Amino acid sequence: MNPEIYKLIHLVGIIVTFLGIGSLISADAKKPAAMRAPAMIHGIGLLLLLVSGFGLQAKVHKVWPAWMVLKVVILLALGALIVLIKRKVLPPIAIYLIAIVLGGIAAYLGFSNGVVSGVGL
């Protein structure tokens, strides 16, 4: 498959993941039915990120650079945010900030290594 397709799927996964995080924060945690759809959206976004990231890695790189391992760790952290949201460990503004910082770091890693811009292809 063309690496551009993987990039497009990856971007859609980012949008869907952050949509899920925002929806989870705004949903009523006391009603499990209200959390079900946002949690599924969050999981689908993470799955899209995982599949497209590994697909792009298989097309572009033969080895795992350190920045790519860090992006997988960030993906796991974004997945763990659902626990913080459901258990109300942190206030919503803190979770928003954590998500923004993690997303910004992941975006920087992708852009700085030429994968997003096409230089590394």
Is residue 121 one of the residues assigned to a domain?
no
Give the integer Cα–Cα distance in Å for 104 and 98. Answer: 10
Is residue 49 one of the residues assigned to a domain?
yes
pTM score: 0.86
**Residue 8 identity:** L
**CA 102 to chain centroid:** 9
Is residue 8 one of the residues assigned to a domain?
yes
Give the integer Cα–Cα distance in Å for 39 and 71. Answer: 21
Is residue 117 one of the residues assigned to a domain?
no
Is residue 52 one of the residues assigned to a domain?
yes
**Are 110 and 68 a contacting pair, CB within 8 Å?**
no
**Are 41 and 19 a contacting pair, CB within 8 Å?**
yes
Domain boundaries, position 27:
3-112
The predicted-structure confidence for 51-95, as pLDDT tens digits, reads as follows: 999 998 888 777 888 888 999 999 999 999 999 998 889 999 999
* Domain count along the chain: 1
- Identify the pLDDT of residue 73: 96
The predicted-structure confidence for 77-87, as pLDDT tens digits, reads as follows: 999 999 999 88
